[in-house]
């Protein structure tokens, strides 16, 4: 089997563009709570915003954009951390007939300027004054803009923009709202560029509407009016924006938390029924639980707990009932550990969706054993987020599931995953990039994978990460790297050896894990620097992990030497907003370290 397709569950012909999703939801349930927004009041920290109230704010800001001179089809850059104002600005641009250009709040001034120039940005909306100033500079470098506004309160905030648009009549707003058709651009999203320069992917209104309608139909057990979620992934990423639209259209209440220190406290307050995370978040939850157990001198008990949870998860995944002994152990550990972990996550979580990278199958089984199943999915910016996904009642750890409704995947002769369907984008801004990205009408994802006997997709790494040694051996390093990064001490592992006689690897150390292991905080690395860490005890501690990873691959795929390195994990030029490392950039900076591995 090298191809699998799933029929669409919903039609989109009756929707002209994305704004119809909000208009129809407001018509159906205007008084339903659509958002929870922070109040700043410690007694009542969150307040509900109804769908009708949200629509009114969106319409007001859209009128302000029209009054400011924004034309139909003009681009608006939004830059800032995830928050309610981001959602208002996003929908308001569409209501005004514009095209949204998200900019990560971690972007550098040069990155923001390059995006503004390529997308032809006319208006900027920043979270605060820092982002607003960066957008002013970015837009000003290439053209005379129409102004920059802030989500933070101030003289030029969104409320002031809405007030300036009070003279725009409803008929004019409705004309603008319905200007864009299904095949018109809704947004231009610049890829994070883990293996090359960012490219502007043009996503249409039909891409978003098709995804929202079909995914909502496939995941009714997860996304529903009685549920709520907390979005802490950056809204500049298409996964978070797609999730927001799905929840908004389905009546699922949304809260935003951008401060990572506030994520866990917010879960206890908001008690979400569903979360979307990247794999590293789940890894950190496991590490935090292990740390607490060790501090209470319960390390061996926690390890037994994990083994029990994984065993229960595996049995349930196979559709069987755990035996009496396993049930007894699970019940005991539930009282000791599992309930506390579920309470830490709010106590109501029915499902977690993991995306943005491959998930360790054992971690998936662990959370299933904890009574919080993880639905792993796979997609890219160019597929308007999810392309494949496990289903709530049909989860298989180690896979990213079947193609989602309205989508199809094919595995090429070279092992590359090809895609087509409702979410596959119209192309890049640069037509040359578009021509390179398609073959026979299928989008080339750049990811390697295969289909299991049932047609589920199993990821096997990135095509551009493949290493060809001087002996002619082609190596896909994903499995080795995933094994090594299971350690809390290793944030990233990068296998090297292109045109070399053997393989080596750079192990990028995790400062939090290193601090826990050593008992003291490591020295902060300089931005832009790759510093080799020469610590014999640390190397000895990690060697069994390297040996275990080598034991799982063939002799030609084994890593002979490793270098432990420290980098600034907050450097946006090196780490993507979804916490993936930019391999090409790392290898460029670490050229001297790599060369030393082969002397």
Q: Are strands 46-50 and 385-389 parallel, antiparallel or unpaired?
A: unpaired
Confidence (pLDDT) at 192: 64
Q: What is the CATH number of domain 17-38+47-180?
A: 3.40.50.980
pLDDT for 106:
87
* CA-CA-CA-CA dihedral for 198, 200, 201, 206, to nearest 10: 150
Relative to beta strand 407-411, strand 3-6 is antiparallel
CATH 3.40.50.410 corresponds to the domain 279-461: no
DSSP for 277-293, written as a single string: E-HHHHHHHHHHHHHHH
CATH assignment, 466-597: 3.30.300.30
Q: Is 131 helix (H, G, I), strand (E, B) or coil?
A: helix
Q: What confidence score (pLDDT) does residue 562 get? A: 95
Q: Write out the DSSP string of 52-93.
A: HHHHHHHHHHHHHHHHTTPPTT-EEEEESSSSHHHHHHHHHH
How many Cβ atoms from other residues are within 10 Å of residue 146's Cβ? 17
In which residue ranges of the chain is CATH 3.40.50.12780 found? Answer: 279-461
Residue 56: CB partners within 8 Å, gap ≥ 6? Answer: none
Separation between Cα atoms, residue 371 and residue 373, nearest integer Å: 6
Residues in the chain, pLDDT under 70: 1, 192-197
Q: Where in the chain is the domain with CATH 3.30.300.30?
A: 466-597
Q: What per-residue confidence (pLDDT) applies to 390?
A: 96
Q: Positive or negative, the Cα torsion across 577, 583, 587, 588?
A: negative
**What digits encode the pLDDT tens for the residues 428-441?**
999 999 999 999 99
Domain with CATH 3.40.50.980 in the chain: 17-38+47-180
DSSP β-ladder status, 228-231 and 253-256: parallel
pLDDT at 194: 45
- pLDDT tens-digit series, residues 191-231: 865 445 678 999 999 999 999 999 999 999 999 999 999 99
What pLDDT, on a 0 to 100 scale, did the predictor assign at position 195? 45
Angle at 253 (CA atoms; ends 250, 258), nearest 5 degrees = 125
Find out whether 565 and 593 touch, Cβ atoms under 8 Å.
Answer: yes
């Amino acid at each position: 089997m090298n191809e699998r397709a799933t029929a669409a569950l919903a039609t989109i012909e009756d929707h002209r563009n994305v704004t119809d999703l909000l208009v129809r939801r407001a018509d159906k349930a205007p008084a339903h709570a659509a958002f929870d927004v922070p109040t700043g009041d410690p007694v009542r920290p969150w307040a509900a915003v109804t769908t009708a109230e949200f629509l009114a704010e969106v319409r007001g800001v859209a009128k302000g954009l029209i009054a400011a001179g924004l034309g139909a089809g003009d681009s608006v850059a939004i830059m800032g951390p995830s928050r309610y104002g981001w959602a208002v600005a996003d929908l308001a641009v569409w209501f005004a007939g514009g095209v949204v250009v998200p900019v990560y709040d971690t972007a550098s001034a040069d990155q923001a300027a390059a995006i503004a120039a390529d997308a032809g940005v006319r208006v900027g909306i920043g979270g605060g004054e820092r982002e607003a100033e960066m957008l002013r500079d970015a837009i000003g470098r290439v053209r005379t803009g129409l102004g920059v506004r802030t989500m933070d309160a101030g003289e030029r905030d969104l409320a002031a923009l809405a007030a300036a648009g009070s003279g725009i009549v409803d008929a004019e707003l409705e004309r603008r709202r319905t200007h864009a058709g299904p095949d018109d651009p809704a947004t231009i999203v610049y890829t994070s560029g883990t293996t090359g320069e960012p490219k502007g992917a043009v996503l249409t209104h039909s891409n978003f509407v098709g995804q929202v309608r079909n995914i909502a139909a496939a995941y009714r057990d997860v996304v529903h009016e009685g549920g709520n979620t907390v979005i802490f992934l950056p809204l500049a990423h298409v996964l978070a924006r797609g999730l927001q639209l799905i929840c908004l259209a389905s009546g699922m209440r949304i809260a935003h938390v951008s401060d990572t220190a506030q994520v866990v406290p917010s879960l206890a307050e908001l008690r979400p029924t569903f979360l979307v995370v990247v794999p590293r978040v789940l890894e950190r939850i496991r590490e935090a639980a292990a740390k607490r157990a060790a501090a209470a001198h319960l390390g061996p008990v926690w390890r037994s707990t994990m083994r029990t949870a994984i065993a229960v998860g595996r049995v349930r995944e196979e559709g069987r009932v755990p035996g009496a002994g396993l049930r007894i152990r699970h019940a005991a550990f539930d009282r000791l550990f599992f309930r506390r972990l579920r309470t830490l996550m709010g106590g109501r979580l029915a499902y977690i969706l993991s995306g943005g990278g491959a998930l360790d199958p054992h971690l998936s089984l662990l959370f299933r054993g904890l009574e919080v199943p993880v639905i792993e999915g796979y997609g890219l910016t160019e597929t308007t987020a999810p392309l494949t996904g496990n289903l709530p009642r049909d989860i298989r750890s180690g896979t990213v599931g079947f193609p989602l409704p309205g989508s199809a995947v094919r595995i090429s002769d070279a092992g590359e995953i090809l895609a087509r369907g409702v979410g596959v984008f119209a192309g890049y801004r640069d037509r040359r990039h578009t021509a390179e990205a398609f073959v026979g009408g299928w989008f080339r994802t750049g990811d390697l994978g295969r289909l299991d006997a049932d047609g589920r997709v199993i990821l096997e790494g990135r095509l551009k990460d493949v290493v060809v040694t001087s002996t002619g051996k082609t190596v896909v390093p994903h499995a080795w790297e995933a094994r090594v990064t299971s350690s809390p001490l290793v944030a990233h592992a990068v296998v090297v050896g292109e045109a070399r006689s053997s393989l080596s690897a750079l192990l990028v150390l995790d400062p939090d894990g290193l601090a826990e292991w050593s008992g003291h905080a490591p020295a902060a690395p300089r931005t832009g620097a790759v510093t080799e860490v020469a610590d014999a005890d640390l190397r000895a501690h990690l060697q069994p992990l390297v040996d275990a990873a080598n034991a799982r691959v063939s002799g030609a795929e084994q890593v002979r030497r490793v270098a432990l390195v420290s980098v600034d994990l907050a450097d946006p030029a090196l780490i993507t907003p979804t916490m993936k490392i930019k391999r090409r950039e790392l290898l460029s900076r670490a050229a001297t370290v790599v060369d030393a591995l082969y002397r």
